[in-house]
Amino acid sequence: MKNLFDIREKHIVITGAGGVLCGQMAKVLGSAGAKVAVLDLNESAADKVADQIRKQGGTAVGVKCNVLDKVTLEQAREKIHTELGKIDILINGAGGNKKEATTSPQMPFFDMPADAIRFVFDLNFIGTLLPCQVFGKDMVEQDGGVILNVSSMNAFRPLTKIAAYSAAKAAIGNFTQWLAVHMCQNYSKNIRVNAIAPGFFLTEQNRFLLTDEKTGELTARGKTIIDHTPMSRFGEADELSGTVLWLLSDAAKFVTGISVPVDGGFSAFSGV
């Protein structure tokens, strides 16, 4: 069984890895023996995670890059080739929501600025597609690889308030299926494309919606989420690790084109 999950020596690129969820993934994969390229728009956050991996005895390089800018992605690819080698695995973690694209008493749907909606859609969807174009080339050249996209609960059924973020994550689920088929039919039967759909994890991108900025108490929305999560709590970043390791390794060798919920039962519960 142990060998099934072996990812030692694999070269893994993780976008958004300066952040909470993907930073944790980077550290877990680094400690499992993978060589990790930690990509983030925030250079110091990327360097910090890479540094932590190296201090644990792993191999990692921090790389500043913007997932919306193909030039910086190509530059990142060159740097990774020099420092680690060709890329076997890509995790598309960069993503998030924006206050201005979220309805509220101050921001009615009718006034939501197109720029803010476009920003959220681009960051999540285009910011997933472009890295697949750039780093996927290595997988085609090597006749094998794995892409793991990061979807969300709102991809299955939209959540209130966050129209653009829900639509963009739904697009990621759809694109995951599309690219899984496209890679097999046109490039290699050994390139797999899947997604994880995390439930609710308290991080910087949703803290303003789930907790009160002043008191730290749960908001009404935060309470509703807990009430609709059969396990009655938010997830911990490390609770994505097992599913990620499964999908990246040979343990999931015949699995492609799916989105796996990791959500404490949220998507299974009708609320009644």
- Any idea which residues carry the catalytic annotation? 165
User: Does the protein bind ligand NAD through residue 163 (CB under 6 A)?
Assistant: no
| Per-residue x/- track, 211-250, ligand NAD (CB under 6 A) | ----------------------------------------
Residue with tokens 């990791």: 262
Q: Report the site for ligand NAD in 185-204 (rule: CB under 6 A).
A: 198, 200-201, 203-204
Among 31, 75, 190, 205, binds ligand NAD (CB under 6 A): 205
Structure tokens at 51: 């540094």
Number of residues that bind ligand NAD (CB under 6 A): 29
Alpha-carbon span 126 to 135, nearest angstrom:
14
**Helix crossing, 20-31 with 43-55: angle to 10°?**
30
| Per-residue x/- track, 37-56, ligand NAD (CB under 6 A) | ---xxx--x-----------
- Looking at 26-34, 65-73, 137-145, 214-222, which segment touches ligand NAD (CB under 6 A)? 65-73
Residue with tokens 């680690």: 84
Inter-residue contact 67 to 130 (CB < 8 Å): yes
Least separation in angstroms between residue 77's CB and ligand NAD is 14
Query: Would you tell me how many other CB atoms lie within 10 Å of the CB of residue 181?
Result: 12
Alpha-carbon span 185 to 190, nearest angstrom:
11
**Residue of 269, 57, 65, 91 whose CA lies nearest to 193:** 91
Q: Please say which residue, 116 or 184, places its beta carbon nearer to ligand NAD.
A: 116
Q: Report the site for ligand NAD in 127-156 (rule: CB under 6 A).
A: 127, 150, 152
Inter-residue contact 239 to 202 (CB < 8 Å): no
Among 123, 139, 179, 260, binds ligand NAD (CB under 6 A): 123
User: Does the protein bind ligand NAD through residue 22 (CB under 6 A)?
Assistant: yes
User: Does the protein bind ligand NAD through residue 95 (CB under 6 A)?
Assistant: yes
* Amino acid (one-letter) located at 257: G
* Amino acid (one-letter) located at 207: R
